[in-house]
Every structure is written in C-alpha cells, then in structure tokens.
Structure 1
C-alpha cells in the first residue's frame, strides 16, 4: 500500500491547480517517509473562511475562522466507539480496505492572507498548512513550547525537501 491523497475543492475563491495537487502529493510522500508512515489515506478539503469558521466553532468551540483543521481517525474520544480491525499474523488487508488517517481542511482565504503577510507564495503556505495538518493526523501537537518547536522543525525539514522555502 501507499499514502494516498483524496481532495475536494469546496470553494471558488482560489483556483486549485494540478501543479498544486502534485506538490501536495509529493509533500505527503515526503512527510510519510520522514515519519515512517507507509500507507493510509488523507482526505483534503479546500474551503472558505465561512465554512472553516463553522467547523472551528462546532468542533473546537472557537468562534472564528482558522487556517487549517485536522480530524484524525487515529484518535478516539470517550464518546466514540472504539472499532478496531486487527489483521491476524500473515493475513492480507481485505481488498478495498484503505487505512484512513483522517481529514485536513484548509481555508484558502486564510492561506492567501497568510502568504501575503509572510511574503511567500500561496503554494508554500498551503504546503505548510497541509504538512502541519498531516503531523496532527499522526499524533503531533503544539500544546507546549517544546512540542511546538519539534513540530515546526519537522514541518520545515519536509518543506525544504520539496523546495518550499520562505
């Protein structure tokens, strides 16, 4: 198996080019290699500020738009059922079964605004947000200074491997 990217564009504010998608697929492979994640599916949605604002309010209790949200399928809460399918030794993954890592949602409006604020390309900003979201999907966070430094270093190393520098 391999890492796969399934994406949707639910906004009309910024065209999403084939070149950008190819770049994100390359970032996914680099991030997976760096973190030793060999297979799984990542769903990526490009949305408006309005849509991400609603999601941020509903799921995080924060009443404003944000740049990126990640919803990991690797984590469960007390309210969720813990459904696990474990392969027996030597058993093959069932045909058609894909290990879903989770969803990444990016506000293209926030990405455009931030790319202008930071003085780099929109592709670099979307790439940064995508890698950031991927790292959240596999368990990283930035709840304290040490964790934030580690996550930023990992993001920058992956971005530099594909030439997305500031």
Structure 2
C-alpha cells in the first residue's frame, strides 16, 4: 500500500486549478515521508463556506465558516467509537485500518485568503491540505511552540512542492 488521496469536489461546482489533485497527491507524499508515513488513506472534500459552516457548527460548536476541518480516524481520543468488524478470513483487513481521516476545505474561503495573502489559489489549497493532514497526525497549534513546529513542517513541505509565497 502507499499514501492515497480520495477526493471529491461537491457537485463539481468549483473551478479548481488544472493539476491541483496531482499537486495535492505530491504534497501528501512529501508530508507523509517527512513524518515517516508510507501507508494510509486521506479523504478530501472541497466545499463552500456554507457547507463548512454547517460542519463547524455541528462538530465543533463554532457557528461560523472556517477554511479547513480535519477529522482523524486513528485518533486515540476518549470520544472514539468502539467499532467491531467481523472478518471472514485472515486475509481480510478491517475497512478503516488504513484510513487516516477526512479533510474538508472551503474553496470559497481559500480563494478569499489567497487574494488576501497575495499568493495563488493553488498555494492556499496546498497549505490548507498540508495543515489538515498534520492535524490528522495529531499536530496542533494551541500554543506558540506547537504552532512553530507545525508552521515549519507546513512551509518545508510546500517549499519542496514548489508552492512558495
């Protein structure tokens, strides 16, 4: 197995840069390699501000849109569901063992931020994807030290992919 990106563009309503998915797959490989991770699957959904606002309100109790949300499947949190899979044979793996989690990006918010920060939509989507991916792996930015670590990892991955400011 390898790192795999499964993605959807809600109702194909976003005009994404032509090679965006190829670039996101490259970012996934680079960020995964930096973390010593060679296997796993990430699901990515592109949505708008309304869609991400609804998810932010439902899952985080924050009543406003955001740019990216991450939902880790391999989280060791106390709210984790106990799911038991019946396996027919030893060759069958449980269906979520390789799932790292879901990333949802508001393309509407990414476009506004790319203009605000003065860089391309491709760079902003790449940044949000890597940011979301690092959250799936347990990184956070709740204090200055953890934010500095996360920022350095994001910027290095984006640099390696040629997505600089």
Q: Does the CA contact (< 8 Å) of 1:13 and 1:108 recur in 2?
A: no
The answer on 1:53 being equivalent to 2:56 is no
Q: Does the CA contact (< 8 Å) of 2:10 and 2:45 recur in 1?
A: yes
Q: Does the CA contact (< 8 Å) of 2:17 and 2:122 recur in 1?
A: no
Change beyond 3 A, Cα 1:96–1:120 = same
Change beyond 3 A, Cα 1:164–1:84 = farther
Q: Does the CA contact (< 8 Å) of 1:11 and 1:46 recur in 2?
A: no
- In 2, Cα distance between the equivalents of 1:95 and 1:72? 17
CA offset digits 1:23-77 (Å, max 9, x no partner): 0000000000001111000000000100000000111111000000000001144
Change beyond 3 A, Cα 1:162–1:133 = same
Alignment TM-score, normalising by the size of structure 1? 0.89
Structure 1 position 14, deviation (Å):
2.8
The answer on 1:8 being equivalent to 2:5 is no
SS in 2 for 1:46: strand
Aligned to 2:29: 29
CA RMSD of aligned residues (A): 2.2
Count of matched residue positions in the alignment of Structure 1 and Structure 2:
161
Structure 1 position 102, deviation (Å):
0.1
- In 2, Cα distance between the equivalents of 1:139 and 1:10? 27
The answer on 1:123 being equivalent to 2:114 is no
Structure 1 position 13, deviation (Å):
5.1
Q: Does the CA contact (< 8 Å) of 1:69 and 1:106 recur in 2?
A: yes
SS in 1 for 2:70: strand
Alignment TM-score, normalising by the size of structure 2? 0.89
- In 2, Cα distance between the equivalents of 1:121 and 1:61? 31
- Unaligned 5+ segments in structure 2 are none
Aligned to 1:144: 143
